[in-house]
Structure 1
Amino acid sequence: MGCVGLPTIYILALEVCEIKHRSVVGILIGLPWAFGTMAWGGVAFQVRDWRWLQRCVTSPFALYIPLLFIMDESPRWLIVRGQFDRARRVLQRAARWNKTQLPSEEALNNLMLDIRGELVEPEKPVLKEKQNRRWTSLKTPALCRTRSLRIINFIFSLNHFISELVFYGLSLSGSNYSADPFIYIVLGGLMEIPGFSLTAPIINRFGRKWPTIWGYVLSGIAILLLVFIPDNIQWLVMTLAMLGKLCNSGAFMIIFVYITEVLPTEVRLQGVSAAIMTSKVGAMVAPYVTDYVGPLVPWAPSVIFGVSSVVAGVALLPMHETLNVPMPDTIEDVPDITLKPTLFRKKPELKVDEVEELNKEPA
């Protein structure tokens, strides 16, 4: 499930999606996750043996496997790999289903050649003395080839790590925030439904960057407030915990749309997979925070999860917006990114001669 379930299916869905529908498709495709979380509470309440519980929740995968054989490959990926004939067949089938018209075959070939041509680097002359060397240096991975890509991967890996740390930290804190852990899990999954569904129109209107930042910051504030709430006010504790879960779930879902739109097709799967890998490290750390740190210092888990959420939001400040922007296909298509937050960037000052030239131009 980790190899082919989450990253590849999600990327495939967005790569074949039209720009104007990316926000809705990218968010709603994760909605079944919320229903699955809610189902965990009900199934776990009925099936207490963990082995039988695993059998019950994994058996539906048998229904999923046949669907893999009728799915088409991503035409973006096929074009980047130079498989133009397969990409053309996929596009023709999609045009036939959607009752639309493709560009002429010549125009389509030229378009695919242009995209593919950006990936082909001109051969550089090799010096004779270098040819005689018996050793070769390791090639820089494509995912870390440019400074902007390294910054993107660091920021989104950090965000994925914190998202899963907080998500599973709240999910595993049922005994701390509720008297009934089964009801707590069901309510947690219920909070994910508005967290996933309501974010679609929000990011379609306001973009990806700032809704994600505010989602993480509000989640962190709600969790930090738990430190100051007495345990006997159970309804308020539950409300703040569910609010933190709602905001975290919404931000986490937007992050998947965001990273898919930021990374180019050339390295999109590698980048998303690397971010998901770091998120699973956060999922592994979460039980130690709740089960080991919590009993020693009861307020520590809330502080750790709350501060981490705020850090995740602040880390996104250097990123650029991707609303209504075509997905990049090559590494060269990725815009330059600086670690200086765009919020505090100074506007470039014009020189005296530049100001005079602007004043001479007609209004």
Structure 2
Amino acid sequence: MKFDDVLKKIGEFGTYQKVLYVVVCLPAINCGILMLISVFALGVPKHRCAIPGYDNDTYDACSILVNETIPLSNDPDLKYNACYIFPMNVSNYDNYSYPINATSHKCDKWVYDKSEFEETLTTEFNLVCEDAKVTKQTVIKTLFFAGFLVGSIGFGFLSDRFGRKNTLHSSFMLVVMSGITIYWVKSVTLYIILRFLVGAACAGIFLTSYVIGMEMVGPSKRLWAGTLIHTFFAIGHVTLAGMAYFVRDWRNLELYAAIPNIVYLAYYWLIPESPRWLLANGRREEAECVLRKAAKINGVRLQNGRFLDRYNENEDSGKVWHLFRSRVMTIRTLVIFFNWLVVALVYYGLSLSANKLGINVYLDFLLLSLCEFPACALCILLFNRIGRKKLHMMFMGVGGLACIGTVISKEYGDNNAAIALSLIGKTGAAGAFASIYVYSAELFPTTVRNSGIGASSCAARLGAMAAPIIADINGLLNTEREDWTMVIFGSASLAAGILTLLLPETVNRALPETIEDAERFTMMYVHEEQMRLLER
């Protein structure tokens, strides 16, 4: 008797599992907040050089002195240059009080527009102009996702070694300590270190919560459960938009995002250890106690005595490198890895580029966040109707074309169309993120499924690390064109969608148990289709 058979006996998704699932999904809301808080904490408001000797200078100040001191900007959205200033000893001015034949130089003090942000890390530490404006912010965002990668690997190991419950509690402790400490940072370096730790903690929280929830769900309900957790993540993004709108100081915003995680420390006493993990580690009596409690709450009556005596789970014996033993599996695995990388790249890249939609950063971010709900709904509605492969290709193809379409729209000056296409692109990325979880899990054979998903997740983290770089690529390349980011996102999505043609469909099919089964998967599919045609 395997564990899935046990779940069928006690109820695949009864009252017990539903309550447990919601409870472990709630932290995903906080992860959603912390994952993208840099959109607001590192916000770059409009700015210009401060006039030397005038301590009460503000960005909105309009005077002859400003015209005499600050060069005009080449940016059509700005009146004054953001990084250069004229010397104070200029003697010749034109009729508009602008210096004649004066040479500007870089400044070291700025005044900022307070209409969108009261204070951000960028304004407090003056991370503006040339290298400071893009490079340091890009490094901060990239290293956060590097922390997520390290956390995925580290907490994944701890989860298998010491249990899901202990790992989840450790992750909560880390996010509380590092998140709250950010409030008192006095340097950018310390902020980077703490955000790295927050990223690692978020990985431990989200992935461990996902595992705890999914390990108690029966096989026929995992499609729903695997998709719905993404809606909790999206709720976090929507919540962040509201929080940031009302809390416009970056220190307070970071603090308010970290404090609620204290509540989750109570999970150590509220949620059980995963019975699947307990069985894998020889703790059968504890597992039976958890499962009997679940059955009782589900209204299922079990036989007296130890009903797990006939339990005999064949543990995964394969390693991730077994996926590269043949040409068929090598190509299939690389295509899956590439899809995970691209999905994360586009998903986080579009989210981090929220300020580029052109409305305002709060509404832009909210609209992009709301796109995730219809994406998840489409997954649930269409997974079994059109199949995993076609649905994933649809998300990648439509999302990619929409990203490229924004460039064309902007070229013709249609900003409304560009906004709409950007939202479609984000919907495609969100839907692809939800679909690739399910699709790739079904493509990997049972013997290496855990290893395959773990490796795929690492590929996704690499894509997430690249997302801030691509999102800021216009500034890094020092180009005035603003379309490189969307072209890269769109092209990568289309490439990943086209490569998905090399993968077999998995809907309504027996999943592969071994590497050999997986290698024959495509041929089996062709044979099954031929048999269906003959039956007709």
Same fold (TM > 0.5): yes
Partners of 2:305 and 2:457 in 1: CA distance: 38
Of the candidates 248, 254, 275, which is equivalent to residue 435 of structure 2? 254
The alignment status of 1:286 with 2:486, answered yes or no, reads no
Task: Report the number of matched residues.
Answer: 321
Q: What is the TM-score of this pair, normalised by structure 2? A: 0.53
Partners of 1:52 and 1:327 in 2: CA distance: 49
Partners of 1:101 and 1:319 in 2: CA distance: 43
Q: Residue 270 and residue 336 in structure 1: after superposition, are their counterparts in 2 closer, same or farther (change >3 A)?
A: closer
Partners of 1:152 and 1:165 in 2: CA distance: 20
Q: Secondary structure at the match of 2:359?
A: coil
Q: Secondary structure at the match of 2:501?
A: coil
Partners of 2:248 and 2:231 in 1: CA distance: 26
The alignment status of 1:45 with 2:245, answered yes or no, reads yes
Q: Residue 223 and residue 163 in structure 1: after superposition, are their counterparts in 2 closer, same or farther (change >3 A)?
A: same
Partners of 2:233 and 2:397 in 1: CA distance: 23
The alignment status of 1:217 with 2:397, answered yes or no, reads yes
Match of 2:339 in 1: 159
Paired residues for 1:327-346 under 5 Å? 332=514, 335-337=517-519, 342=522
Letter matched to residue 250 of structure 1: G
Match of 1:143 in 2: 320
Q: Secondary structure at the match of 2:371?
A: helix
Letter matched to residue 379 of structure 2: T
Partners of 2:322 and 2:281 in 1: CA distance: 18
Q: Secondary structure at the match of 1:224?
A: helix
In the TM superposition, residue 234 of structure 1 has moved relative to its aligned partner by 1.5
Once the two structures are superposed, what CA deviation does each residue of 1:320-353 show, in whole Å capped at 9, x if it has no partner?
444466778xx73883247xx959x9879xxxxx
Match of 2:348 in 1: 168
Is residue 7–residue 272 contact of structure 1 (8 Å, CA) maintained in 2? no
Partners of 1:171 and 1:253 in 2: CA distance: 16
Partners of 1:322 and 1:279 in 2: CA distance: 22
Of the candidates 314, 331, 345, which is equivalent to residue 498 of structure 2? 314
Q: Residue 24 and residue 193 in structure 1: after superposition, are their counterparts in 2 closer, same or farther (change >3 A)?
A: same
Match of 1:239 in 2: 420
Letter matched to residue 86 of structure 1: E
In the TM superposition, residue 160 of structure 1 has moved relative to its aligned partner by 2.2
In the TM superposition, residue 108 of structure 1 has moved relative to its aligned partner by 4.4
Match of 1:129 in 2: none
Is residue 168–residue 283 contact of structure 1 (8 Å, CA) maintained in 2? yes
In the TM superposition, residue 150 of structure 1 has moved relative to its aligned partner by 5.9
The alignment status of 1:186 with 2:366, answered yes or no, reads yes
Q: Secondary structure at the match of 1:2?
A: helix
Letter matched to residue 497 of structure 2: G
Letter matched to residue 205 of structure 1: R
Q: Residue 313 and residue 107 in structure 1: after superposition, are their counterparts in 2 closer, same or farther (change >3 A)?
A: farther
- Structure 2 runs not aligned, ≥5 long: 1-200, 529-536
In the TM superposition, residue 292 of structure 1 has moved relative to its aligned partner by 2.7
Q: Residue 270 and residue 109 in structure 1: after superposition, are their counterparts in 2 closer, same or farther (change >3 A)?
A: same
Q: Residue 59 and residue 12 in structure 1: after superposition, are their counterparts in 2 closer, same or farther (change >3 A)?
A: same
Letter matched to residue 144 of structure 1: W
Q: Residue 149 and residue 250 in structure 1: after superposition, are their counterparts in 2 closer, same or farther (change >3 A)?
A: same
In the TM superposition, residue 179 of structure 1 has moved relative to its aligned partner by 3.1
Partners of 1:145 and 1:80 in 2: CA distance: 22
Q: Residue 257 and residue 73 in structure 1: after superposition, are their counterparts in 2 closer, same or farther (change >3 A)?
A: farther
In the TM superposition, residue 260 of structure 1 has moved relative to its aligned partner by 4.2
Task: Tell me which of the two structures has the higher relative contact order, counting C-alpha pairs closer than 8 angstroms and 6 or more residues apart.
Answer: 1
- Structure 1 runs not aligned, ≥5 long: 121-140, 349-363
Once the two structures are superposed, what CA deviation does each residue of 1:34-91 show, in whole Å capped at 9, x if it has no partner?
1211222222233333332221112221122212433233333444444433333333
In the TM superposition, residue 209 of structure 1 has moved relative to its aligned partner by 2.5
Match of 1:304 in 2: 488
Q: Residue 157 and residue 77 in structure 1: after superposition, are their counterparts in 2 closer, same or farther (change >3 A)?
A: farther
Partners of 2:509 and 2:288 in 1: CA distance: 24
Q: What is the TM-score of this pair, normalised by structure 1? A: 0.75
Letter matched to residue 285 of structure 1: A
Is residue 447–residue 515 contact of structure 2 (8 Å, CA) maintained in 1? no
Letter matched to residue 234 of structure 1: N
Q: CA RMSD in A?
A: 3.4
In the TM superposition, residue 223 of structure 1 has moved relative to its aligned partner by 0.9
The alignment status of 1:90 with 2:270, answered yes or no, reads no
Partners of 1:108 and 1:34 in 2: CA distance: 38
Is residue 80–residue 265 contact of structure 1 (8 Å, CA) maintained in 2? no
Is residue 229–residue 236 contact of structure 1 (8 Å, CA) maintained in 2? yes
Mean CA deviation greater in 45-54 or 254-263: 254-263
Is residue 349–residue 471 contact of structure 2 (8 Å, CA) maintained in 1? yes
Is residue 473–residue 485 contact of structure 2 (8 Å, CA) maintained in 1? no
Letter matched to residue 465 of structure 2: M
Is residue 217–residue 313 contact of structure 1 (8 Å, CA) maintained in 2? yes
Q: Residue 259 and residue 347 in structure 1: after superposition, are their counterparts in 2 closer, same or farther (change >3 A)?
A: closer
Is residue 7–residue 269 contact of structure 1 (8 Å, CA) maintained in 2? no
Q: Secondary structure at the match of 2:273?
A: coil
Is residue 247–residue 253 contact of structure 2 (8 Å, CA) maintained in 1? yes
Is residue 396–residue 494 contact of structure 2 (8 Å, CA) maintained in 1? yes
Match of 1:60 in 2: 260
In the TM superposition, residue 104 of structure 1 has moved relative to its aligned partner by 8.2
Letter matched to residue 33 of structure 1: F
Q: Secondary structure at the match of 2:309?
A: helix
Larger Rg: 2
Partners of 2:498 and 2:489 in 1: CA distance: 15
